[in-house]
């Protein structure tokens, strides 16, 4: 028999770091909702998709987009932001040592990847209690979100579907507590699963 035990993504340090105060003015009370993306600025993460989807969303409602991370596609992304005239609404602050406080304070977390090994960052955002939208890329997001139970899934590369899912998530957030699902990927759960396997071995 084969037993699958998830890697321990959610740690006590992650939860502790998510509770650190965040002084960024975009997160002050009364400011527009912030949509967050996190990852290296590389082709795999498809941040151009996220920016274009946000551009369509922004025409319909007030919001801001922040993408944390650094990488070789920064000039391309900055050019796209300027072309879409969204410099006031999109921020690319670079690498942030503690992204979890940003996750906790954001209205929505987006994973826009073309592919993933699993999608740990999605679990991390969920552990911070943040609603999520993800591309249904190979492999991981559909398993993490249990085919859409814990967050919206959209086809890879579909700008319209991503924009619609983002708006829907802002208007009608999921009633499911994402942190409950993230607990399945915690250190405690991994230890418990390993102990159970060891005690039931023949």
3-state SS of 10-23 is: ECHHHHHHHCCCCC
Q: Look up residue 177 and give its two tokens.
A: 């507590």
Residues lower than pLDDT 50 in the chain? none
Boundaries of every domain in the chain: 12-23+31-176
CA gap 38, 115 in Å, rounded: 15
The DSSP bridge partners found for residue 132 are 109
Within 10 angstroms of residue 144's Cβ, the number of other Cβ atoms is 26
Within 10 angstroms of residue 117's Cβ, the number of other Cβ atoms is 10
CA gap 166, 161 in Å, rounded: 9
Residues 111-156 have pLDDT tens digits of: 999 999 999 999 999 999 999 999 999 989 999 999 999 999 999 9
The DSSP bridge partners found for residue 186 are 10
Helix H segments across the chain? 12-18, 47-58, 74-83, 100-105, 120-127, 141-144, 159-171, 178-182, 187-200
On whether the pTM is more than 0.85, the answer is: yes
CA gap 115, 103 in Å, rounded: 21
| pLDDT (0 to 100) of residue 93 | 98
Q: Look up residue 90 and give its two tokens.
A: 């999109």
| pLDDT (0 to 100) of residue 6 | 76
CA gap 197, 41 in Å, rounded: 39
CA gap 12, 145 in Å, rounded: 22
Per CATH, the number for 12-23+31-176 is 3.40.50.2000
| pLDDT (0 to 100) of residue 194 | 62
Helix (H, G, I), strand (E, B) or coil at 196: helix
């Amino acid at each position: 028999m084969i037993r699958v035990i998830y890697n321990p993504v959610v740690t006590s340090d992650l939860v502790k770091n998510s509770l650190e105060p965040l002084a960024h003015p975009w997160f002050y009370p009364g400011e527009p909702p912030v949509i967050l993306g996190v990852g290296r600025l590389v082709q795999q993460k498809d941040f151009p998709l996220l920016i274009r989807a946000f551009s369509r969303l922004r025409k319909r409602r007030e919001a801001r987009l922040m993408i944390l991370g650094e990488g070789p596609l920064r000039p391309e992304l900055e050019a796209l932001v300027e072309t879409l005239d969204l410099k006031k609404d999109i921020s690319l602050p670079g690498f942030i040592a503690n992204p979890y406080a940003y996750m906790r304070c954001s209205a929505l977390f987006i994973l826009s990847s073309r592919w993933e090994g699993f999608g740990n960052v999605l679990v991390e955002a969920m552990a911070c209690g943040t609603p999520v939208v993800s591309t249904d890329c190979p492999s991981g997001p559909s398993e993490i979100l249990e085919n859409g139970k814990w967050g919206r899934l959209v086809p890879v590369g579909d700008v319209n579907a991503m924009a619609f899912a983002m708006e829907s998530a802002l208007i009608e957030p999921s009633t499911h507590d994402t942190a409950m699902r993230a607990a399945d990927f915690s250190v405690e759960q991994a230890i418990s699963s390993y102990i159970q396997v060891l005690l039931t071995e023949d």
